[in-house]
């Protein structure tokens, strides 16, 4: 068995989803490696933040279309119940397998965001400091007609580099530690709560949506890094 410990191992360890042999390996590594232990602590903090953010969704009634689907296929009732529980775990940064039971994500906002990332019509450029930060935030609020602000992703090494404005939408651009592009496409929500993470067009994509804002994040990052960036983005937009 390989001694390499991945971010997926660490997240599975936090969730109690590792086999005993692998869990013991991770436990010993954490005791011997303070940097790895700190990384796990950050993951745990992120999961708690996701739990806090999405707790209201877990308390909502089961969607009527899910109930109807279960009635049509009684032999799958247990799968429907499992899907509801799994969806909550996903929103806390856990297992993503629930997507096969939940309603399929609408492709429009994701495709629109990725197309915008390719087109990149520059509207505002340069780091946001002082009065410039106010200009960025004012432009973002006007574009999406919501009380939001530019998230600060500097804790992950991402610096704000620009803001592209569209009809009732905006794209926030960041430059990563190795110069890589990371984007947040923001527009008004259609009112349905959504959270998903996947790969498309060679990029890691994360979409989350509450009753106010729909946000699509895209970049050449790992699943674990996207999870942390999504947490910072969510709290940053609403702060």
The answer as to whether 73 is a domain residue is: yes
Rg (CA), the chain: 19
pLDDT of residue 98: 38
Whether residue 185 has pLDDT greater than 90: yes
Query: Do 201 and 115 lie in a common domain?
Result: yes
Residues 70 and 161 in one domain: no
Same domain? 63 vs 118: no
Residues 113 and 212 reside in one and the same domain: yes
CATH of the domain at 142: 3.40.1000
Picking from 36, 62, 97, the residue at the C-terminal end of a domain is: 97
Q: How many residues does the chain have?
A: 239
pLDDT higher for 140 or 48?
140
Indicate whether 221 and 119 sit together in one domain.
yes
Higher-scoring residue by pLDDT: 22, 103 = 22
Judge if 28 and 59 occupy the same domain: yes
Chain segment 86-122, per-residue pLDDT in tens:
454 445 444 344 344 444 444 478 888 988 887 755 4
Residue 39 lies in a domain: yes
User: Is 216 within the bounds of a domain?
Assistant: yes
Q: Which residues of 185-206 are buried (b: 16+ CB within 10 A; e: fewer)?
A: bbbebeeeebbbbeeeeebbbb
Residues 120 and 215 placed together within one structural domain of the fold: yes
The reported pLDDT for the residue numbered 159 is 92
* pTM of structure: 0.57
- Considering 97, 116, 140, which residue would you say is the last residue of a domain? 97
Look up the domain containing 85 and give its range. 7-97
Mean pLDDT (the chain, rounded): 76
Q: Is residue 117 part of a domain?
A: yes
Residues 140, 90, single domain; the answer is no
Query: What pLDDT is recorded for position 97?
Result: 40
* Mean pLDDT of the region 24-37: 86
Read off the pLDDT of each residue in 224-238 and give the average, rounded to a whole number.
88
**Residue (of 179, 216, 181) closest to 195 by Cα position:** 216
119 and 87 housed in the same domain = no
Number of domains in the chain: 2
Confidence of residue 79 (pLDDT cuts 50, 70, 90): low
Same domain for 206 and 127: yes
pLDDT exceeds 90 at position 65: no
Q: What pLDDT was estimated at residue 107?
A: 44
Per cent of the chain over pLDDT 70 is 67
Domain boundary at 34, 62, 97, which?
97
């Amino acid at each position: 068995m390989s001694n390499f410990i991945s971010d997926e191992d660490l997240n599975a360890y936090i969730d109690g989803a590792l086999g005993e042999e692998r869990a013991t390996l991770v436990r010993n590594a954490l005791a011997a490696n303070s940097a790895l232990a700190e990384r796990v602590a950050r993951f745990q903090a992120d999961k708690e933040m996701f739990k806090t953010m999405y707790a209201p969704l877990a308390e909502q009634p089961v969607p009527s279309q899910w109930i109807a689907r279960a009635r049509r296929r009684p032999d799958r009732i247990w799968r429907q119940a499992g899907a509801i529980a799994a969806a909550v775990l996903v929103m806390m940064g856990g297992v993503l397998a629930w997507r096969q039971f939940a309603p399929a994500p609408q492709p429009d906002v994701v495709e629109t965001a990725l197309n915008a990332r390719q087109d990149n019509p520059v509207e505002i450029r340069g780091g946001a400091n002082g009065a410039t930060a106010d200009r960025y935030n004012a432009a973002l609020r006007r574009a999406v007609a919501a009380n939001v602000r530019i998230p600060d992703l500097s804790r992950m090494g991402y610096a704000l580099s620009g803001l592209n404005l569209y009809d009732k939408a905006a794209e926030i651009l960041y430059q990563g530690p190795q110069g890589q592009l990371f984007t947040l496409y923001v527009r008004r929500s259609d009112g349905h709560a959504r959270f998903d993470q996947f790969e498309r067009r060679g990029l890691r994509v994360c979409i989350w949506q509450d009753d106010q804002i729909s946000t699509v994040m895209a970049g050449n990052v790992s699943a674990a890094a996207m999870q942390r960036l999504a947490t910072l983005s969510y709290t940053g937009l609403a702060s």
